[in-house]
Chain A
Amino acid sequence: MNASIFNIQRYSLHDGGGIRSIVFFKGCPFRCPWCCNPESLSVHPQLMFKKSLCIQCSLANGVCTSAVEDCPTKAKSMIGEHKTIDEIMDVLIRDKVFYETSNGGITLSGGEVLLQQVAALELLSACKKQNLHTAIESTLALDIEQIHAWAKLCDRFLIDLKIMNPQKAKEVLGIDIHKVKENIKQLIHLNAEIIIRIPIVPTYTDSSENITGIISFMHEVGLKEVHLLPYHNLGESKYKSLNLSYSLYDAKPINDKIVEDIRQTFIDANINACIYGN
């Protein structure tokens, strides 16, 4: 079994508890305008060019003629590769000692992990054989084929709630919010541990109406923990490198005060809230 992934990031500190390695699955059917991982969107490998690394060693008429594999500095590189579960596990197992001392583990992220459910479950299963703590980061906005298996193999679900208004969610993100809610309810029914994550993006998700919507849903289903992810524009340069357009070019990083106010709103509603993850 192969998974299409674009990165395995070791030493991640805010994505599911403790010190973790994150496997980034490639491909996402949704289009959040603020996405900071544009290289995750397409399922297919993509050419990335990082201008800052280029030493202009193979220019002809101002155009780089170097093949990707010959680029000395990796300014030119292909993003995304198909890896077997064993190959991925070889990397993940390397930091086992750190997972153990920190109560950390493995997090599957994306892209949207649910686009590759068979591979993802197989990877989770392999992690469980090594007694590793597992988590996924997902919108949960797709049909889940083997929900019992997910509930059994995944110790912690980090679920994004972004825009609660069904019509806006559909228009802006392409997300069916009813499906997200249904999936969450089913997982709760199966005793899954769920943490809600909210990207705080100016004008998109930071309105009091949206926050209130999230709070009332969390109250309805009995969820108690939320992580707030303040918007940053770190992804901007990646759009350039991929030759993609970025609709939030002009957006400024969100003001700390706004994020803190939102955190307080959750606390006042009896929901544990922290900025970034822990």
Chain B
Amino acid sequence: MLSTRLQTYKEELLSKPRQVSIERAVLYTQSYKTTEGEHVLIRRAKAIRHILENHELTLDTQDLIVGNRTKTPRAGVISPEMSPYWILDEIEQFETRDQDKFIFSTKDKEIFKNELYPYWASRSLKDYYQARVSDEVVEATKTRIFAINQTDKGQGHIIPDYEILLKIGFQGMLDKVNKQLEQKPTNHFLQASKITVEASIQYILRNKTFVEQELNSTTDVQRIQELQVMITNLEHIATGVPTNLYEAIQLFWMQCLILQHESNASSISIGRFDQYMLDFYEENEFNAVLLQNLYLKMNTIVFIRSKESAKFFAGFPSGYTMMISGINKAGIDATNPLSYKLLRLHEDIQLPQPNLSVRVSKQSPHDLLMLASEMVRLGNGLPQLFSDEVNIKSFRNRNISLEDANDYGVVGCVELSIPHKMYGLHDIAMFNLLKCLEVSMHQKTYTNYEELKASIKATITTYVNYMVEGSNLCDSCHANVAPTPFLSTFMDGCIDNAKDCSEGGTIYNFSGVQGIGCPNLSDSLYVIKKAVFEEEKLTYEQLMELLDTNYEGNEKMRQTFIHQYDKYGNDNDEVDFLGSELLTYYCEEVAKYKNPRGGYFQPGSYTVSAHIPLGEAVNATPDGRKAKEQLADGGLSPMVSRDVNGPTASLKSVSKLDNYLTSNGSLLNIKFSPSVLENDSGLEKLVAYIKAFNQLDIQHIQFNVQSKQTLIDAQNNPEKHRDLVIRVAGYSAMFTELSKAIQDDIINRSEHTL
């Protein structure tokens, strides 16, 4: 249960309109104007310092944890230094667009147009990218064969080291940096790092002064006591080491905020919170309130995206992804009382953040799986589950040490990462496998299946090459335009190597690119293989005619393709292995390439909400999908309503993919009707299903448990369902804040009943 004050806090969060905030952009720009000619690392560090020294502080009267990102909660912080262009193009549409609406005040719009835009046009990261990108990459991006993701926003997608700060404090970090600086006094990264760490200490003290002012204007006796504790805590943690959970959470939250002020990026994720916070945790009522308060604070930060980007990542996920349980570095189950508490708290909060994730292993306690299932039954799609057995194997296959692989976490949605050791560019690109089929099919008239398959592989090879080119360019843009010295300070190796993580300073350096559309590819290839090449029901030309005319006037044939030919998701080996072979091919192609930081590319397979925009770019396909219709959701989930043999068959189909190859992460949505999970016996069966998922070596699974009726009612009467949280893809979002297209997608996903 939430206390009345936190309930009030939660309601305020959801009821206040979301604003566009230009505060960070204004401060950042002020600083940049004064640092022309200096090294980019120093300029970035000074800009962060300027923000920390000047952004407006607030403290909600209900709040026990000090520190705010923006003046009003859930504001969208724009970053014209990454790209001012989309903001200008869409400046009048923030309030009315389909997805992720924000209010942009007239005054701020004027400041943007007159002061921010003119400065950043020509100077932004986007400019750096555009000046260098090749025609081929531009063309392929336009046709949505692939999408390069972080060309206009911060990189994020990383788990920095929270544990070290809890252990040695900011003073300890400063000592580390100073020691290295003695060796390398002219090193820009170390200089920048020092500026940000010193600024962090001052920022905490500034917050303390702010709370002292609050104290002077407060008359409520209880609040006065609370504020006094906050002041003491802030004073202590500015340089010192926390001694209890309250101080630890306060320090942790300050670190989270500074990371956000620096990058303004999605998915600077939390990692294994139940492991590094355990030393501070004891079970009592006050600690529960603190953790609830922290959960709520994580929901005060949302991430504003362009219209196009919001199609791919709808519902402004901020990616406070928290990993719970799993084995430890030594391979022993590390579930602890805090793991249970963190899970149980979701029942009180029921909001999208933190994006709770549970690691499942052969050693997982039954009680933990029961509790996870109980939370799943609440219907918010949390927690999502990850299989230790396959994910550790995936990382071993990428030459990550066993100890580090055992310690894996997750960033953003489902991207697997090694906490404070991996700058994985986990979300750098998405690759449309189904579009490759379309491109190949138009190249010639094929006479047999093998010939077609070879051609698709060649297409994949061609475009993977271009995707790598685009990703690597984007990678170097971030190093050259938007390095992150504060974040890097908390990544292993960066201080020792005296290098920012964007330059390859940390231990593991990957680039993660997702192959999507595999389910539709399986389904389409099976129809071609059977109907055209084996049964000769129609000729290749006739099939092309059907597709080119979008099945116009031939609904009978379309229905035949849908119903008379088995589909991926029904545990039919022949169908399942068709797509599997090509996904494996994609994975192997990707893994051949290196990035500028000395690391390799690694494949993943998840769509977030990209199955909708990437589907818009694909013509009619032989699986009966019409032009522009969405692709299969999730990444590995069967195409909507094509899996008719129930959820065990779906899992079996997914298990036939080479799941250990998609080491960047993959995603599977399963939808159950609420009746399946009634009473303890229902929960036991979900636990059994989860254990089977783990034995089948599938990386990830998540559940939506809302009746179709509820969702349709929420779509029609949003005001009645303002707090309905639903799984989108690797993250949850407020259902009524999603566009109709994504709402429809979620409503239509196959629901498994009895």
Contact = CB atoms under 8 A, between A and B. Distances in A.
Interface of A: 9-14, 18-19, 55, 57-58, 72-74, 94-95, 97-98, 100-104, 278
B647 to A, nearest CB: 6
B560 A72 contact: yes
Interface of A is mostly: loop
A1 to B, nearest CB: 25
A55 B688 contact: no
Contacts of A94: 571, 648-649, 652
B695 A74 contact: no
Which bucket holds chain B's interface residue count?
20 to 34
A80 B562 CA distance: 22
B559 A73 contact: yes
A211 B649 CA distance: 39
Which 4 pairs show the lowest CB-CB distances between chains A and B? Answer: A102-B688, A72-B559, A11-B646, A101-B691
A72 B555 CA distance: 9
Nearest to A18: B688
Nearest to B647: A11
Contacts of B563: 72-74
B560 A101 contact: no
A57 B648 contact: no
Interface of B: 555-560, 562-564, 571, 645-649, 652, 676, 681-682, 684-685, 688-689, 691-692, 695-696, 752, 754
Interface of B is mostly: helix
Contacts, number: 70
Contacts of B689: 19, 98, 101-102
Given A19-B685, A98-B692, A101-B688, A57 B555 contact: yes
A101 B652 CA distance: 14
A73 B562 CA distance: 8
Nearest to A278: B681
Contacts of A19: 648, 685, 688-689
Contacts of B557: 72
Contact of B645 (A10, A13, A72, A74): A10
Given A72-B564, A98-B688, A102-B692, 5 more contacts: A11-B647, A13-B685, A94-B648, A94-B652, A95-B648
A77 to B, nearest CB: 10
B159 to A, nearest CB: 31
B295 to A, nearest CB: 31
Nearest to B688: A102
A101 B693 CA distance: 10
B648 A10 contact: yes
Contacts of B556: 55, 57-58, 72
Nearest to B694: A101
Contacts of B647: 11
B685 A102 contact: yes
Contacts of B684: 102
Contacts of B648: 10-11, 19, 94-95, 98
Nearest to A58: B556
B193 to A, nearest CB: 49
Contacts of B564: 72, 74
A94 B685 CA distance: 18
B370 to A, nearest CB: 13
A102 B683 CA distance: 11
Nearest to A53: B563
A100 B688 CA distance: 8
Contacts of B682: 13
A117 B493 CA distance: 71
A67 B647 CA distance: 32
A133 to B, nearest CB: 13
Nearest to B557: A72
A263 to B, nearest CB: 13
B685 A55 contact: no
